Amino acid sequence: QFYSVSTPEDVPLHSPLPVNIKAESPLGRKLIYSIVAGDPYEEFAVDFSTGVLYVADELDYESTQQYALTLRATDSVTAVFAEVLVSVLVTDVNDCPPEFPTDSYNVSVSEAAPFGSLVLRVTATDNDTGVNSAVRYALDHNSGNASEYFHVDPEDGSVYLKRSLDHEVRDCHHLVIVARDTGTPSLSTSVHVWITVGDMNDNAPRFEQTSYTVWLSEEATRGQLVTLVTASDPDTGPLQYSIAAGNQHHTFHIDPDSGILTVVNLHKLMELQTHTLNISVSDGVYTSFCRVRVEMVSANRNSPVMERHQYDAKVGENLPAGRSVATVTARDPDTGTYGQLIYSIPSQLLLQTFSINNVTGEIWTRRSLDREQQALYEIPVMAVDGGGKSGLSTVRLSVSDVNDNPPQFLQSEYKACIHANLTVHSPFLKVRAMDADEGVSATIQFSVYETQTSGVKQLFAIHPHSGALFLLKSAVPYENQVFQFFVRATDTGVPPLHTDVPVQVYIMSADDAPPLFQRGDHKFFLPENAPSGSMITQLQLVAEMPVQYRLISGSPTFAVDSSGKVTLSGSLDREDTAAHSLAVLALTESSPPLTALTEISLQVLDTNDNAPAFDSETYTFGVPENVMEGTSVFKVHASDKDEGSNGEVRYSLSGSGDVFAVDPYSGWLTTLVPLDREAVPSYTITVLATDNGSPP
The pLDDT of residue 477 is above 80: yes
Cβ pair 600, 581 in contact under 8 A: yes
* Domain end call among 605, 630, 664: 605
Q: What is the pLDDT of residue 111?
A: 83
Comparing 658 with 534, the larger pLDDT belongs to 534
Q: What is the pLDDT of residue 271?
A: 81
Q: What is the pLDDT of residue 521?
A: 67
- Domain of 373 in residue numbering reads as 305-400
Band (591; pLDDT cuts 50, 70, 90): confident
In a domain, 696, yes or no: no
Q: Specify whether 471 is located in the same domain as 492.
A: yes
Q: What is the pLDDT of residue 219?
A: 78
Nearest 5 degrees, angle CA 220-CA 223-CA 228?
90
Band (131; pLDDT cuts 50, 70, 90): confident
> What's the CATH number where 426 sits?
2.60.40.60
Q: What is the pLDDT of residue 656?
A: 58
Q: What is the mean pLDDT of the chain?
A: 91
Q: Specify whether 416 is located in the same domain as 387.
A: no
The pLDDT of residue 420 is above 90: yes
| Alpha-carbon distance values, 618 to 144, 348, 665, 684, 686 (Å) | 54, 9, 20, 10, 10
Q: Specify whether 503 is located in the same domain as 455.
A: yes
Average pLDDT of the segment spanning 342-353: 94
In a domain, 273, yes or no: yes
Nearest 5 degrees, angle CA 98-CA 102-CA 103?
90
Band (386; pLDDT cuts 50, 70, 90): confident
Q: What is the pLDDT of residue 657?
A: 66
Q: What is the pLDDT of residue 640?
A: 94
The pLDDT of residue 655 is above 80: no
Cβ pair 204, 237 in contact under 8 A: no
CB under 8 Å to 100, separation ≥6 — which residues?
122, 123, 124, 179, 189, 191
In a domain, 96, yes or no: no
Q: What is the pLDDT of residue 145?
A: 67
Query: Could you tell me which of 672, 670, 648 has the C-alpha nearest to residue 658?
Result: 672
In a domain, 563, yes or no: yes
Band (98; pLDDT cuts 50, 70, 90): very high
User: DSSP label at 17?
Assistant: P
pLDDT over 90, % of the chain? 68
Q: Specify whether 286 is located in the same domain as 314.
A: no
The pLDDT of residue 306 is above 80: yes
Band (695; pLDDT cuts 50, 70, 90): confident
pLDDT digits (tens, 9 = 90+) for 357-372: 999 999 999 999 999 9
Sequence letter at residue 20: N
In a domain, 82, yes or no: yes
Comparing 375 with 220, the larger pLDDT belongs to 375
In a domain, 99, yes or no: no
Comparing 301 with 318, the larger pLDDT belongs to 318
Average pLDDT of the segment spanning 392-397: 95
The pLDDT of residue 409 is above 80: yes
Q: What is the pTM of this model?
A: 0.54
Written as one string, the DSSP assignment of 556-575 is TTEEE-TT-EEEE-S---TT
The pLDDT of residue 43 is above 80: yes
The total number of structural domains that make up the chain: 7
Average pLDDT of the segment spanning 655-668: 86
Average pLDDT of the segment spanning 638-655: 92
Q: What is the pLDDT of residue 76?
A: 87
Cβ pair 98, 190 in contact under 8 A: no
Q: What is the pLDDT of residue 22?
A: 86
* Domain end call among 578, 605, 632: 605
Q: Specify whether 160 is located in the same domain as 77.
A: no
pLDDT digits (tens, 9 = 90+) for 184-209: 889 999 999 999 888 777 778 999 99
Comparing 577 with 1, the larger pLDDT belongs to 577
Q: What is the pLDDT of residue 665?
A: 93
| Alpha-carbon distance values, 674 to 299, 508, 634 (Å) | 18, 88, 16
* Domain end call among 50, 68, 91: 91
